[in-house]
C-alpha cells in the first residue's frame, strides 16, 4: 500500500472510532436523529456507537480490514434513513439545513472510501 493510502486508512479508522465514542459522549444528539419508528432508540445509539468503534478498529489490522470495510459500508447504508429523517426534522440545535442536505450525498462518498479497503 502506498503511503497516501495508509494515511487515508488510518484517518478513516480514527474518524469511525471517534464517531463511535461520540455516541456515548453526546447520546442526546444521536437520539434526535433516530426516526420514531425505530424501537429502543437509546439502545440503538449505544449499539451503533459500539459498532462504529469496532469497525474503525478493524480497519487497522490486515486480518480484519476487509470485514471492517464491508461492515462500514453496511452501517452507512443502515443509517442513511436516519440522515434523511434528520434533514426532514431539523431542530434549532441541529446543524444548518444545508449541512444536513450535504451529508446525504456524502454518505455515498464514504461508502466508496470504505470500498477502497475491501
The alpha-helical segments, DSSP class H, found in the chain are: 3-25, 27-32, 41-58, 62-88, 97-115
The whole-number pLDDT of residue 44 equals 96
Q: How confident is the model at residue 65 (pLDDT cuts 50, 70, 90)?
A: very high
| Residue in the block written with cell 493510502 | 5
Nearest-CA neighbor of 115 among 50, 32, 59?
59
Q: How confident is the model at residue 1 (pLDDT cuts 50, 70, 90)?
A: confident
Measured torsion, CA atoms of residues 60, 34, 108, 55, in degrees rounded to the nearest 10: 10
Residue range 3-57, pLDDT digits in tens: 999 999 999 999 999 999 999 999 999 999 999 999 999 999 999 999 999 999 9
pTM of the model: 0.92
The whole-number pLDDT of residue 45 equals 97
Amino acid at each position: 500500500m502506498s503511503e497516501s493510502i495508509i494515511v487515508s486508512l488510518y484517518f478513516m479508522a480514527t474518524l469511525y472510532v471517534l464517531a463511535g465514542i461520540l455516541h456515548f459522549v453526546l447520546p442526546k444528539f444521536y437520539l434526535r436523529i433516530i426516526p420514531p419508528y425505530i424501537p429502543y432508540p437509546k439502545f440503538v445509539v449505544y449499539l451503533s456507537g459500539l459498532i462504529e468503534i469496532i469497525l474503525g478498529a478493524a480497519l487497522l489490522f490486515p486480518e480484519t480490514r476487509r470485514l471492517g470495510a464491508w461492515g462500514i459500508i453496511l452501517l452507512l447504508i443502515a443509517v442513511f434513513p436516519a440522515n434523511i429523517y434528520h434533514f426532514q426534522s431539523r431542530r434549532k440545535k441541529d446543524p444548518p439545513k444545508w449541512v444536513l442536505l450535504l451529508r446525504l450525498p456524502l454518505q455515498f462518498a464514504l461508502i466508496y472510501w470504505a470500498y477502497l479497503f475491501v
